[in-house]
Structure 1
Amino acid sequence: MDRSWMKAKCISDEYENGVEQFLQFTQLNAESLRGNYFCPCVKCLNGRRQSVDEIRSHLICYGIIPNYTKWIWHGESADIPTVSQSQAVHEDSGERIEEMICDLGQETFEQAHAPLYDTIERDSNTPLYEGCTSFTRLSAVLSLVNLKARFGWSDKSFTKLLVLLKNMLPEQNTLPKNHYEAKKILCPVGMEYKKIHACPNDCILYRNETKNCRSAKVCWYLPIIPRFKRLFANAHDAKNLSWHSDDRKSDGLLRHPTDSPQWKTIDHLYPKFRDEQRSLMLALASDGMNPYGSLSSNHSLWPVLLMIYNLPPWLCILRKYIILCMMIAGPRKPGNDIDVYLTPLIEDLKQLWEEGVDVWDANVQQMFKLRTMVFCTINDFPA
């Protein structure tokens, strides 16, 4: 079926006709969903089930996910390649395992992290069980962990599921037997985090010389420098990170943060930062939330997020490109002492601003000095 309409303007006849063809295809091929289908608009991202009329409205108003060309959530079967080709599909995001391996396989990464690369490559070529051509060990774990995150399964329930699946599969299968082993398989991917305890009075973080101290208050820091390196190691993402300089339409209208007086002032004040088009402009956001859905709970949870404004507007807001860099948890909110918890993040941001970090750009196949700046913050008044 023709997918070219997905790139057409939402107000065009071509796009509207394509939406109708898509909905007809869905109704014919996804009958098991019984009238409520996953909505592939850029707002729902196949994460919500809606009626046909709602989906039609969303697709016309918001547009369809541009890379959702294999309609696996709407009745189209995924082409499952052989294990030897390392092309198992991560169905939820549409990204391929081999693309991740390629990102990790840059020469600079292999030299610095050869054992980790070997582990990833081995798991990506190990069949789930003898004779299996549908899943490798790595692709199976990625698919299951993705479902765990999407539907909010607890670690205990996930372990129970792994035990059940392992017993159902043929003997000598390579599926991990618990959540801990699954995490170890994914650790080499680079999704590292640091658990840091804090003083109960929010005075200091227990790190460096006080790292052995323990408290009821903790924060989790997910280092941002390795994650920026991972983005630039992907040629497609690296190209998008220069979109604001290379492909943006500049006609005097305010179409992107690059057109704002604030951005232009920064370009004027810091010409060296401006001249490197891959320098990142970031937005920092934080707010408190209750993890248990009850306003009477005393527990406080504060996520800290980074958004990258170099990207096109339709990518800035995608979950893939919103970086969760810190989670502050404890019996009460950090309040005015949030700066204590932000210390590890601030240290990395200062390094990225003052010194820069050597990063491999897979798009142009060269190393460059990455620098970043916090362009703005997004928060309500209490935050």
Structure 2
Amino acid sequence: MFDDAKKPLYPGCKKFTKLSALVRLYNLKIRYGWSNTNFSELLSIISDLLPDNNEIPTSLYEAKKTLGALGLSYQKIDACHNDCCLYRKEYANSTKCPKCSLSRWKINKNSTKENNGVTAKQMWYFPIVPRFIRIFKNLENAKNLRCRAMDRKVDGIMRHPTDTPSWRLIDHMWPTFESEQRNLRLGPKRPRYDINTYLAPFGLKILWKEGVQCFDAYKEEYFTLRVVLLWTINDFPAYGNLCGCSVKGFRLDQNMEKRLL
């Protein structure tokens, strides 16, 4: 993997390495929904267009072998159309939602029949633990993740999340968590209505209680990394989605109105 990150795309190429070019191309595949067959054909054509001895893989299979070393694997998990549940664990073989009884499968608009095997909604889950482990294996990243504790100024000015009341509350209530400077605090962006449903695969309870073994490249030692979900990042209407507050019209929640004032 490290060789691919340094290897020029072709002899004399200074702008792209094998890995950087492949990541850019694969990003386009995901963004625009290219099929596997189309992407393989594109790779083959690009390989022919580039100078001889280029490093572009000529098929999706070869590309995935290279990207797999980065820990960029993902899982597709079927979800209820109403976001009630994910079809995993005890619901893995269910054909309808255990809460709202809606079919797992997509409904044909013309005949109103189920397209058996074609899921109505799907979640793409990128496992976070391998990414955390990889972050700390990088010397610069491992050092930067400690800077909040090493170079922190305490002067009453909010310049970093560590200066927020919610951060200090975690430090006060769980001092053992705060004592390990490398522990992570997450803030997912724009969660859905049923945030618990879509956070379930991340295993946050295990990451909070037990943690995971990581190697710190900066201190050259292993440690137990623990993680906490500190807050969510979203816009004003999310108060209604997540907290049940009225956020519009004449029924604007009184407490919300006081906060705005």
TM over 0.5: yes
Residue 374 of structure 1 aligns with an amino acid whose one-letter code is: L
Residues in 1 aligned to 2:165 and 2:54: alpha-carbon distance in whole angstroms: 59
Distance in 2 between residues matched to 1:124 and 1:254, nearest whole Å = 38
State the alpha-carbon separation in 2 of the partners of residues 209 and 128 from structure 1: 46
1:168 is the counterpart of 2:46: no
User: 1:352 aligned to 184, 187, 207, which one?
Assistant: 207
Select which of 142, 155, 161 maps to 2:34.
155
Per the alignment, in what secondary structure is the counterpart of residue 373 of structure 1? strand
Find the aligned partners of 1:273 and 1:338 in 2 and give their Cα distance: 24
Alpha-carbon distance between aligned partners in 2 of 1:242 and 1:180, rounded to the nearest angstrom: 38
> What is the match of residue 342 of structure 1?
199
Deviation at 1:341, TM superposition (A): 2.7
Q: What TM-score do you get using the length of structure 2 for normalisation? A: 0.68
For residues 297-329 of structure 1, the C-alpha deviation after alignment (integer angstroms, 9 at most, x for no partner) is xxxxx6xxxxxxxxxxxxxxxxxxxxxxxxxxx
Measure the CA separation in 1 of the matches of 2:148 and 2:7: 41
Per-residue deviation at 1:166? 1.9
Please state how far the C-alpha of 1:199 moved relative to its aligned partner.
3.5
Q: 1:50 maps to what in 2? A: none
Q: RMSD between aligned alpha carbons? A: 3.1
SS at match of 2:143: helix
Q: 2:78 aligns with which of 191, 197, 208?
A: 197
Looking at structure 2, the residues matched to 246 and 356 of structure 1 have their Cα atoms a distance apart, in angstroms, of 23
The secondary structure found in structure 2 opposite 1:267 is: helix
Give the letter aligned to residue 227 of structure 1: R
State the partner residue of 2:150. Answer: 246
Counterpart of 2:23, as a letter, is V
Checking the alignment, whether the CA contact within 8 Å between 2:5 and 2:18 is kept in structure 1 is no
Moved >4 Å (runs of 4+): 123-129, 150-154, 156-160, 169-174
Count of matched residue pairs: 211
Q: CA deviation at 1:143?
A: 1.7
Unpaired stretches in structure 2, ≥5 consecutive residues:
95-116, 242-261
C-alpha separation in 1, matches of 2:85 and 2:216: 37
Query: 1:154, 1:241 → 2: CA distance?
Result: 35
Mapped partners of 2:219, 2:187: distance in 1: 26
Q: Is the 8 Å Cα contact of residues 141 and 182 (structure 1) preserved in structure 2? A: no
Q: What does residue range 51-90 of structure 1 map to in structure 2 within 5 Å?
A: none
CA distance in 1, matches of 2:12, 2:92: 46
Matched, 1:377 2:247: no
Q: In structure 2, how many angstroms separate the alpha carbons of the residues matched to 1:202 and 1:153?
A: 24
Q: Deviations over 1:335-368 (max 9, x none)?
A: 4x442232112xx211111111111000000001
Instruction: Render the CA deviation track for 1:46-90: whole Å, top value 9, x for unaligned.
Output: xxxxxxxxxxxxxxxxxxxxxxxxxxxxxxxxxxxxxxxxxxxxx
Match of 2:162 among 255, 258, 267: 258
Partner residue, 1:58: none
State the shift of 1:209 in Å. 5.1
Q: TM-score, normalised by structure 1?
A: 0.48
Equivalent position of 2:183 in the other structure: 279
Match of 1:206 among 59, 63, 87: 87
Residue segments in structure 1 that go unaligned for 5+ positions in a row: 1-99, 102-120, 288-301, 303-334
User: Which residue identity is paired with 1:139?
Assistant: T
Question: What displacement does 1:262 show?
Answer: 2.4
C-alpha spacing 1:153/1:180, structure 2 compared with 1 (3 Å):
farther
Q: Are 1:188 and 2:89 an aligned pair?
A: no
Q: Aligned residues: percent identity?
A: 45
* Secondary structure in structure 2 of the residue aligned to 1:360: strand
**Counterpart-to-counterpart distance in 1, 2:169 and 2:19:** 47
Q: How far apart are residue 259 of structure 1 and its match?
A: 1.8
DSSP-derived class of the 2:232 partner: strand
